[in-house]
Amino acid sequence: MKRTPKLSLLNQPHSNLQAHTEFIHRLQNSQDLKAAAKTHSNIFKSGLSNHTFTANHLLNAYLRFNKTTDARKLFDEMPETNVVSWTALMAGYIDVGEPREALRLFGRMAEARIQANEFTLATAINACSLLADLETGRKIHTRVETLGLSSNLVISSALIDMYGKSNDVDNARQVFNHMICRNVISWTSMISAYAQNAQGDYALGLFRELIYENSLALAPTQFTFASVINACASLGRLVAGKALHLAVIRRCHVVNDVVASALVDMYAKCGCIDYSDKVFRQILQPTVIPFTSMIVGAAKHGLGKHSLHLFDEMLARGIRPNDVTLLGVLYACSHSGLIDIGLYHFNSMQLKHGIAPDARHYTCLIDMLGRAGHLDEAYKLSTENVPLGAVDAALMWGTLLSACRNHGRLELAVKAGKRLIELNQQVASTYVTMSNMYASIGRWENAQGIRSEMKRRGVRKEPGCSWVELRNSTYVFYAGDLSSCTHGSEIAQLLRDLEVRMKERGYVGGSSGLVFVDVEEEAKQGVVGVHSERLALGFGLINIPKGVTIRVMKNLRMCGDCHEAFKLISEIIGRDFVVRDVNRFHHFRDGSCTCGDYW
């Protein structure tokens, strides 16, 4: 136990240094706010609170406990502040999720005649990053260059992150390229910038380069792995994802929760929900994020009831759901036809969980009602006074339009389509959908009218596409055009068979299940209104006739249950239908499934 100096000693000049040291030591080791406050009081009594160095320590003690109000009070009362006081307070505001206040302080530094240094600039860039404030970030970047700090490692990494989060990958790469010296954080920031901006291939490429560096100092961390696994998830790269899983296990003693969450998500997106579950169950104390990953993953696999069980389990463990969790729950209900439960969760979001439904929740609910054919209720919900931006509103009206299309509700489709055109969003696909709807009921003039309107306005529809992986190659299929793909005719035949079977079972196309051929394709054929439909498969490695193995990744939402798709495929192909992944196979026979490991 250390001896506490008596206050009387502090009045003597030779004891000042000792007192400083003692107070600072106590502040740094304060286990709770009460202890820090007590030390504060002692510092105040000793008169040392006027000392900037000591006061900064006190400031940090408060900030360590996220007490920004106390810290701010102290800061405002300090007779003299320096660059450390300003930077510390800025970082404190960032820690409590108030980056705007950090930038406000940064802006006030000049009038206080305090010159920002590399620490301050890195902190300010971090605030821009959190706000995705590209404009301010660019200004700070210019200032960094003016001050000759371009080669600073921390600032450069912060800039890469800021550009990445603001969707300016090119500038992130520019900063990365100009760095003289890089550490694993700069590499990870650049890899994440790619992964977060739908450039997963570049993320994987850069990760490969990092490995080739073969430097101990640049050994990938759990941060790096989480980013690359995320890239695999968005690309549907199961093999690479598994290799990364193995690498994490080999290199890291303990797989941390964030990496585990990324793995749960990756396996789900690559069609291996069993693996997701396995990884998830290995997490000792899963937080809201892995739970949410698992809920969403199960929902996308048509296992809505499992999602709901997970949600209950999460609540029973006292883990508070967030807005994304509720979105996952609604998504699960929507894709498994659990309307009443979905409505119950939507209605109790605010009251039970304190989460106000926003545009995304409304859209999900509209999708749920729309899928079930409750179009009038869905429309009513769309017209409720929810304040929406153009993009959110377009998502909502687009969802309603798809539902109207699937259920042939022309009059509501017209209303939804009109809204979309007014919003100047999804214009091309709206026109195509409307034209197809008119054509399907024989109203050729209306269909033709819309096509003329498209031409007049110069609206062109980009053909939609899906892709498959065949071993290490990716094949892209454009809507209505399978001919450009190897084995295209066989695949087309399989899709046609599937379509017939699904229709026999009463399946009505969902937003990404059945895709109308694009209008230009129809124009090529010189026929308006005769639409062909293209089915997308679920996922998995599927043996189709003549030994062609295809892996279909897209459109997991088809009929809300991929197992249903597998069953159908097995009926079409015969009894020897096998779904493979790298380690396991699933053999479907007479509607039941046998699984096994290859090794």
User: Which member of 117, 440, 446, 448 binds DNA (CB under 7 A)?
Assistant: 117
Site map for DNA, 127-146, x if CB under 7 A?
Answer: --x-----------------
User: Which member of 43, 122, 314, 420 binds DNA (CB under 7 A)?
Assistant: 122
Give the torsion sign (CA, 319, 324, 325, 327).
Answer: positive
Report helix angle 410-423 to 375-382, nearest 10.
30
User: Which member of 30, 42, 60, 570 binds DNA (CB under 7 A)?
Assistant: 60
Would you count residue 172 as binding DNA (CB under 7 A)?
A: no
Would you count residue 166 as binding DNA (CB under 7 A)?
A: no
3-state class of 510 per DSSP? coil
- Using the minimum distance from each CB to DNA, give the nearer residue, 203 or 535: 203
3-state class of 465 per DSSP? strand
User: Cβ 562 to DNA, closest distance in Å?
Assistant: 15
Q: How far apart are CA 470 and CA 551, in angstroms?
A: 6
User: Cβ 171 to DNA, closest distance in Å?
Assistant: 15
Q: How far apart are CA 232 and CA 241, in angstroms?
A: 6
User: Cβ 543 to DNA, closest distance in Å?
Assistant: 29
Q: How far apart are CA 183 and CA 173, in angstroms?
A: 15
Q: How far apart are CA 100 and CA 128, in angstroms?
A: 8
User: Cβ 307 to DNA, closest distance in Å?
Assistant: 12
3-state class of 395 per DSSP? helix
Residues 533-562 that bind DNA (CB under 7 A): none
For the chain, counts of helices (H) and of strands (E):
29, 9
User: Which member of 131, 239, 247, 288 binds DNA (CB under 7 A)?
Assistant: 288
- CB distance 270 to 241 below 8 Å: yes
Would you count residue 56 as binding DNA (CB under 7 A)?
A: yes
Would you count residue 515 as binding DNA (CB under 7 A)?
A: no
User: Which member of 44, 53, 344, 444 binds DNA (CB under 7 A)?
Assistant: 53
- Using the minimum distance from each CB to DNA, give the nearer residue, 168 or 367: 367
User: Cβ 488 to DNA, closest distance in Å?
Assistant: 29
Q: Which amino acid is at 239?
A: V
Q: Nearest 10 degrees: CA dihedral of 227, 228, 234, 236?
A: -150
Q: Which stretch binds DNA (CB under 7 A): 309-317, 327-335, 342-350, 545-553?
A: 327-335
Would you count residue 329 as binding DNA (CB under 7 A)?
A: no
Residues 241-280 that bind DNA (CB under 7 A): 256-259, 261-262, 265
User: Which member of 9, 33, 37, 83 binds DNA (CB under 7 A)?
Assistant: 83
Give the torsion sign (CA, 8, 12, 15, 21).
Answer: positive
- φ/ψ region of 321 (left if φ > 0, alpha if ψ in -120 to 50, else beta) reads beta
- List of residues 6+ apart from 4 with CB closer than 8 A: 22
User: Which member of 183, 493, 512, 549 binds DNA (CB under 7 A)?
Assistant: 183
Residues 334-393 that bind DNA (CB under 7 A): 334, 359-360, 363-364, 367, 392
